[in-house]
Amino acid sequence: MTDSPVDAAGLRRRTRDLLAAHPPATTDRPDFLRARFDAGLAWVHYPEGLGGLGAPRSLQAVVDAELEAAGAPDNDPRRIGIGLGMVAPTILRHGTEEQKRRHLRPLWTGEEVWCQLFSEPGAGSDLAALGTRAVRDGDHWVVDGQKVWTSSAHLARWAILIARTDPGVPKHQGITYFLCDMTDPGVEVRPLRQITGEAEFNEVFLTGVRIPDSHRLGGIGDGWRVARTTLMNERVSIGGMRLPREGGMIGPVARTWRERPELRTHDLHQRLLKLWVEAEVARLTGERLRQQLVAGQPGPEGSGMKLAFARLNQEISGLEVELLGEEGLLYDDWRMRRPELVDFTGRDAGYRYLRSKGNSIEGGTSEVLLNIVAERVLGLPAEPRTDKDVAWKDLAK
């Protein structure tokens, strides 16, 4: 592979060198993806040796366009979205060199799927109240507890996990962040069937799971700070995903409106126009947010994008059901399934309506995100928190 300067022209040359050495038509998909990572063309803004070249993030589009034109395979980003959008930025920022080199390559190629062991039955909106315990035993930690609403746990090889390592300090201070091997003894994954009939979510029981201290990410008791990196990236990845015009939920209802004139009414027309404009504003705002990310880490603004994403999806899917009338009540498949990804646009209107109800919960409830926007974006006074300086063990459970 020839050396090239890290600019648009150099990236095109480097990408064409990759394609010449590994023709997509004759190279196995996993081999091509590994070669792309090793060439620094996976995510060009990452450091050299970790799938990148230290280039501006905006230049990724140059690489992607060349590869798409050549028919090169992608890494199925929707299937491994948790790893790409949440885990990788956290490992890059807080991980050791050994952790980065061990995990980032198979994470990006999709050879190892990741899930997120954060929420618990008694700690969802108030995540810092979590009760899963991790007790030090020599060079290992022994973990016991239960996690819930875990997307992709039935597919995952690895998980990011936060657990309480010191119950004698306030809740935000006694948490530590781990990388958990989902194949270890004591990890049990059970499906949670949703209103859609599917079980994309899971509950995960951890019983005497032994995690090496080398799988700790960040310092002991510093897990909340590490977790905030994950959460801020999660909200950007959910609410600020790149979409074309009429991408996402607005696309199917707009197509139905154009193709089925017999369904139209003046009232629905006005509502559709309003939601179309709001969806376009959200899309363009997400583009600006991604441009800001080029210069640093995501901030609390991602919470505002995720709020808009949830509200728009629910209003748009509700409008679609009204537009279709009786047809909108039909639902194609109630079988118990374990999907590999959530497909909002590849299903019928009934599925979209039901599944969008979860958007205001997953990735942070809308109520919590409203507080974040109010306090950290608008600078409004914080809500009173009587448990801020109370040891976790003394809190009402």
Q: Is the pLDDT of residue 241 over 70?
A: no
Q: What is the pLDDT of residue 251?
A: 93
| Same domain, yes or no: 326 and 343 | yes
Supply the CATH number for residue 116's domain: 2.40.110.10
Tokens of 101: 């080199």
Average confidence score pLDDT of the chain: 90
Domains in the chain, number: 3
Question: Is 79 a domain residue?
Answer: no
Given the residues 112, 198, 200, 234, the one annotated as active site: 234
Joined tokens for residue 186 = 């004591």
Q: What distance in Å separates the CA atoms of residue 237 and residue 151, rounded to the nearest whole number?
A: 15
194 shares a domain with 259:
no
Q: State yes or no: pLDDT of 278 exceeds 70.
A: yes
The answer to whether position 102 is within a domain reads yes
Cβ distance 111 to 65 under 8 Å? no
Position with higher pLDDT, 33 vs 378: 33
pLDDT over 90, % of the chain: 65
Of 129 and 236, the one with more pLDDT: 129
Does 34 fall in a domain? yes
Same domain, 185 and 243: no
Q: How far apart are CA 221 and CA 172, in angstroms?
A: 9
The answer to whether 234 is a known catalytic residue is yes
Residue at 317 is within a domain: yes
**pLDDT average, residue stretch 238-252:** 77
State whether 236 and 184 are in the same domain. no
| Same structural domain, 280 and 337 | yes
CA distance 386 to 364: 21
| Contact between 376 and 298 (Cβ < 8 Å) | no
The region, left, alpha or beta by phi > 0 then psi within -120 to 50, assigned to residue 379 is left
What is the token pair recorded at 251? 């696309």
The dihedral region occupied by 220, where left means phi > 0, alpha psi between -120 and 50, and beta the remainder, is beta
Give the model's confidence band at 1: pLDDT under 50 very low, under 70 low, under 90 confident, else very high. very low
Under 8 Å between Cβ of 271 and 253: no
389 Cβ partners below 8 Å, 6+ apart?
170
Chosen domain end from 43, 69, 95: 69
- Out of 202, 221, 240, pick the residue that ends a domain: 221
- DSSP 8-state class, residue 175: E
* 270 and 214 in a common domain: no
Let me know whether 339 and 270 are in one domain. yes
Residues spanned by the domain of 62: 8-69
Does some domain include residue 74? no
The answer to whether 44 and 63 are in contact (CB under 8 A) is: yes
In whole angstroms, what is the distance from residue 218 CA to residue 178 CA? 8
CA distance 251 to 139: 52
pLDDT one-digit tens code per residue, 30-62: 999 999 999 999 999 999 999 999 998 889 999
Do both 97 and 187 map to the same domain?
A: yes
> Are 138 and 277 within one domain?
no
- Residue 391: which region, alpha, beta or left (left: phi > 0; alpha: psi -120 to 50)? beta
What number of H helices and E strands is found in the chain? 12, 7
Q: What is the pLDDT of residues 290-343, one digit of tens each?
A: 666 554 556 677 778 888 889 999 999 999 999 999 888 887 666 777 877 777
Distance set, CA 262 to CA 27, 246, 252, 329, 333 (Å):
50, 22, 16, 18, 27
Write the CB contacts of 120 (distance below 8 Å, at least 6 apart in sequence). Answer: 130, 131, 132, 145, 146, 147, 148
The residue among 29, 118, 33 whose CA lies nearest residue 82 is: 118
pTM above 0.75, yes or no: yes
In a domain, 385, yes or no: no
* Domain termination site, one of 196, 221, 246: 221
Domain presence at residue 76: no
Confidence class for position 368, pLDDT limits 50, 70, 90: confident
- CA-to-CA separations, 350 to 94, 149, 238, 325, in angstroms, rounded: 42, 22, 21, 11
Which pLDDT tens digit goes with each residue over 73-97? Answer: 999 998 998 999 899 999 999 999 9
Q: Is the Cβ–Cβ distance between 338 and 199 less than 8 Å?
A: yes
pLDDT at 281 over 70: yes
Q: What pLDDT digit, counting tens, does each position of 139-150 carry?
A: 999 999 999 999
Is beta strand 187-192 parallel, antiparallel or unpaired with respect to 175-181? unpaired
Q: Verify that 176 and 240 share a domain, yes or no.
A: no
- The answer as to whether 311 is a domain residue is yes
**With contact defined as beta carbons under 8 Å apart, do 87 and 114 qualify?**
yes
- Return the beta strands (E) in the chain as ranges: 114-117, 133-137, 140-147, 158-164, 175-181, 187-192, 201-212
- Residues 278 and 272: their CA atoms lie apart, in Å, by 10
- Could you give the dihedral angle defined by the CA atoms of residues 262, 265, 268 and 272, in that order, rounded to the nearest 10 degrees? 60
Q: Helix H segments across 117-265?
A: 223-239, 250-259
Q: Are residues 277 and 294 in the same domain?
A: yes
Helix-strand-coil percent breakdown of the chain, rounded to 5?
A: 45, 15, 40
Lowest average pLDDT, out of 61-75, 79-93, 268-282, 378-392, goes to 378-392
User: Bridge-partner residues for 204, per DSSP?
Assistant: 147, 189
181 and 162 part of one domain: yes
